[in-house]
């Protein structure tokens, strides 16, 4: 039986932009992550996937819904439970350099979390741990006393990964961890993340816009559009048989050399820009761009329901 590790229930995160305008960045999103698996979240820029990841981690306070982490509801957790959660749940950023203090050495950056959580009694123990982490992510102990500006983009991402690992987490939000890297480096970082997950028995929420990468690393995938989760399924099922028109369009755009692949026969083009999540309409967010939309889509927001075993879709076409 699957061991549910993270449950996100009807999560909402809104931002007030003015007197009347409200950005529904994450709007009533629900999904679960089993222990040890990777769940990918994909969608166009501005769809809310990064906000979702940061809200799950507690970096943003949600406007509604629940986050249940290993059986503990974070919204009603005690101070001790929250402290433990902050240690167990970490993030790998798209651009770690922006979060590095340029005046701190790599050793200081990596050991900062160790000190905050009192993981080691002596300075020598912390230093040994830093050296070990650097080697674990493909760097060398000699890098410990250098500064962030002395490293390449790929090396900085490895340092960011080492910093996340420093407090011995079992859950990591990977927020576009390779999108700013050269293609030649991307595969190295992805393979490193896969190896580390197996070695340290971690669970990932992997956020990206590159569907090929998400397919490669994920066990399950959620598709977001304008703050809503429109489809959620096992990775193999979603890529073989996407049910939501938006998912179909995204997956049809993936280059493929397999002529038998179901979505390789034709490219589905979506006209227009992603719908605004500011004061959204009452119906489906994808209504204006959907080539299959009908009147009900304009009037009623479809709910995310299980349309096939383990396959959840928010679309009137499928549900009707």
pTM: 0.93
C-alpha pair distances (Å), 52 with each of 3, 4, 158, 224, 314? 22, 19, 24, 10, 18
Q: What is the CA radius of gyration of the chain?
A: 21
Task: Indicate which CATH number applies to the domain containing 162.
Answer: 3.40.50.300
What pLDDT score was predicted for residue 285?
A: 93
Kindly report, residue by residue over 260-297, the tens digit of the pLDDT. Answer: 555 555 778 787 777 788 888 889 999 999 989 999 99
Is residue 240 domain-resident? yes
Is residue 284 domain-resident? no
Give me the number of domains the chain comprises: 1
Give the lowest-confidence range in 29-38, 165-174, 264-273, 303-312: 264-273
Structure tokens at 153: 């983009």
Kindly report, residue by residue over 175-187, the tens digit of the pLDDT. Answer: 999 988 898 899 9
Is residue 270 domain-resident? no
d(CA 191, CA 237): 23
What pLDDT score was predicted for residue 259?
A: 58
Is residue 313 domain-resident? no
Is residue 297 domain-resident? no
d(CA 91, CA 59): 10
C-alpha pair distances (Å), 192 with each of 18, 158, 196, 205, 289? 43, 9, 6, 16, 38
Is residue 256 domain-resident? no
Is residue 75 domain-resident? yes
The residue range of the domain holding 233 is 4-251
d(CA 94, CA 174): 8
């Amino acid at each position: 039986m699957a061991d549910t590790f993270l449950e996100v229930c009807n999560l909402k995160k809104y931002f007030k932009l003015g007197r009347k305008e409200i950005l529904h960045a994450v709007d009533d999103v629900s999904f679960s992550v089993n222990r040890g698996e990777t769940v990918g979240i994909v969608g166009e820029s501005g769809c809310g996937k990064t906000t979702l990841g940061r809200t799950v981690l507690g970096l943003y306070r949600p406007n509604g819904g629940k986050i249940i982490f290993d059986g503990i509801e974070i919204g009603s957790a005690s101070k001790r439970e929250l402290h433990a959660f902050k240690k167990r749940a970490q993030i790998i950023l798209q651009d770690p350099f922006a979060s590095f203090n340029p005046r701190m050495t790599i050793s200081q950056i990596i050991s900062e979390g160790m000190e905050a959580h009192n993981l080691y009694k002596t300075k020598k123990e912390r230093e040994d741990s830093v050296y070990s982490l650097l080697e674990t992510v493909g760097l060398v102990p000699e890098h410990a006393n250098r500064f962030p500006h002395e490293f390449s983009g790929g090396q900085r991402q490895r340092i960011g990964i080492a910093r996340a690992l420093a407090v011995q987490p079992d859950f990591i939000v990977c927020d576009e961890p390779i999108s700013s890297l050269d293609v030649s480096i991307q595969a190295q970082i992805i393979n490193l993340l896969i190896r580390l997950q197996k070695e340290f028995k971690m669970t990932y929420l992997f956020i990206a816009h590159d569907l090929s990468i998400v397919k490669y690393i994920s066990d399950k995938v959620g598709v977001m559009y304008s703050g809503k989760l429109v489809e959620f399924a096992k990775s193999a099922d979603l890529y073989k048989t996407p049910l939501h028109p938006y998912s179909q369009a995204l997956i049809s755009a993936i280059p493929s050399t397999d002529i038998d692949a179901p979505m390789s026969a034709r490219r589905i083009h979506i006209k227009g820009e992603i719908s605004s999540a500011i004061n959204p309409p009452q119906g489906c967010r994808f209504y204006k761009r959907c080539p299959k939309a009908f009147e009900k889509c304009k009037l009623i927001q479809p709910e995310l329901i299980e349309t096939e075993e383990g396959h959840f879709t928010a679309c009137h076409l499928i549900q009707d």
